[in-house]
Amino acid sequence: MLLSRRWCGKYETVNVLCYRNRVFQGIHNCSHSIIIKVKLPTKPETFPKVVGWERNSKQKLGPQMVNMSSSMDPSSLAESAVDLNLKLMRWRLIPGLDLEIVAKTRCLLLGAGTLGCNVARCLLSWGVRNISFVDNGQVSYSNPVRQSLFQFDDCLNGGKPKALAAADGLKKIFPEVNANGYILSVPMPGHIVNSAGGEVDKVRSDVEKLEQLFDDNDVIFLLMDTREARWLPTVMAAAKGKMVINCALGFDTYLIMRHGVKQGTEAHPPHVDVETLKAGRKVPGSGLGCYFCNDVVAPGDSTKDRTLDQQCTVSRPGMSMLASALAVELLVSLLQHPSKGLASADTTSKDSHLEADFESTLGLVPHQIRGFLSRFYSVMPASLAFDKCAACSDVVVSRYLTEGFHFLLQVFNSPTFLEEVTGLSQLHAEAVEDEIWAISDDEI
C-alpha cells in the first residue's frame, strides 16, 4: 500500500531488495540476498479510515490493544501443546478421527487405586479433560510405586484421601484438566446395613451422591477391588443407559469388557444359538451382557472370613498398565464407532479382516478382552445378556427404578434376595430336580 501511494503513476515496477547477511567463521556473505520485482497498480489504493486505531464504547478513537499475556502463560502454552500427538495422528494417519467427541466425554472412575490412576493417565493422553474419581480409601506407603498419581508426601499423616490426591495429581500433570475427587463408599450386596447409629442415612446419602455423579458423566469405569462393589454401579448404568467399561485383574490374567447399553424395552435381543455365535464375527451390540451375566448366583460379601492378605488383589506389576491401556483404547474405539455404545461386538482378530471392513476408524470393537500374561495371549469372547442376571436383567432394573433405595436396602441386607427376585433360586431348584431324575436305578 505504501508503494502504491508513493510511486503509483511514476513507476510501473519497483525492485525490492531482500538483504540477507550471513556470517560463517567470521566472514560476512550477502550472496543469498534476492531482488523481488513488484508491479505497481495503475491507480493508488485507498487508505482505510483507521489504521491501528478503533472506536471505543464512547466512539472515541484509541489504540487497538492485543493481550499477548496468554502466549507467555505456561498453562496456556501447555494446553496448546499437550494434544500435539493427537493432532499429528489425525493429520498424518487417521483423517477421520473425531477428537472432539473424545475431549468432551465426561468420565467417572470408580476406584482411584492402581487401575484408576493408570486409566486416568491414559484418558489424559487421549485428550479427555473431564475426569472424576470416587474412592473412600487413603494413600498408603505401598501405593506410590504402583499407583502413578501418588507421591511419598501423599502417604504422610495417615495418608490423603485417594480420590482427592488422584485429582490433584492429574492437575499437577496438566493444570487445565477438570479433575474432581469424591470420598464416598459404594454400598454392596451382602454387606449388611445396620439400622442403628445412622448407618442407613449414610448409605442412602452415598447412593444419592452416586446417582448424581452418574447423571453428570457419560462413561463409567468400574475399577474396584471386589466383585460385589461393581453390582450397584452396573444396575445404575443399566437404568440410566450409560456406557460402562469394566476392568478386573487376577494374578496374571485380566478382563476388560464393555457392558451392553440397555435401549428401552429391547435390552435383550431374540435368542442367538451357540452355533450362530461361533460362526459369526459380530454379535449384536444391543444385547451384550454385563459383568454379572455369566453368573448363576448373586454377588455376596467376598471378603468375609478372609485374612488381610487374601483381601488384597495380588497381581504382576505390569498387569494394571496393560489392562488400563486396553480399557481406555476400547472406550476410544467405541466412541469412534457410528453406533457408539450399541456397536456390534467383534469376536475375532484374524488377518482376513480388511481395513475397509472396520466400522470404527481405530479398528475392532470387541465386547471383552481376556488376557493371559503367563502366555502373552489374549482372546475376544462375546456373551449375550442373561434374562436372569442379578444386575442388568429387566426385573432388577425395573424394581430399582420403581422402588429405589428400599429395593437396594433389601439387596444389601439379604444375600438370597436377588436370587429370589431374578428367578435364580428357581433355576437352582430345577437343576437339582433334573439331576435327581437323571439318576437311574442301576446307579443307585
Q: Name beta bridge partners: 39.
A: 13
Q: What is the DSSP letter of 418?
A: H
Neighbours of 185 (CB within 10 A): 16
CA terminus-to-terminus distance, the chain: 109
d(CA 3, CA 7): 6
Q: Where are the domains of the chain?
A: 2-46, 184-426
d(CA 245, CA 403): 27
- pLDDT number for residue 286: 74
Convert the pLDDT of each residue in 55-71 to its tens digit: 777 777 777 666 777 66
d(CA 299, CA 91): 47
- Which of 128-137, 145-154, 190-199, 423-432 shows the lowest per-residue confidence on average (mean pLDDT)? 423-432
Sign for the pseudo-dihedral over CA of 128, 234, 329, 322:
positive
- Average pLDDT of the chain to the nearest whole number: 84
388 near 268, Cβ under 8 Å? Answer: no
d(CA 285, CA 344): 4
286 near 342, Cβ under 8 Å? Answer: yes
Convert the pLDDT of each residue in 291-311 to its tens digit: 999 888 878 776 665 555 555
Decide yes or no: CATH 2.60.120.560 for domain 184-426.
no
- pLDDT number for residue 269: 45
pTM of the model as a whole: 0.79
- SS3 assignment, position 441: helix
- pLDDT number for residue 389: 93
- pLDDT number for residue 360: 84
- SS3 assignment, position 145: coil
- Cα distances from 35 to residues 19, 106, 278, 289, in angstroms, run 8, 56, 73, 72
d(CA 82, CA 329): 18
150 near 144, Cβ under 8 Å? Answer: yes
Average pLDDT of the segment spanning 96-111: 94
Give alpha helix (H) positions in 241-356: 274-279, 308-311, 319-335
- Whether residue 330 has pLDDT greater than 90: yes
Give the active site residues: 312
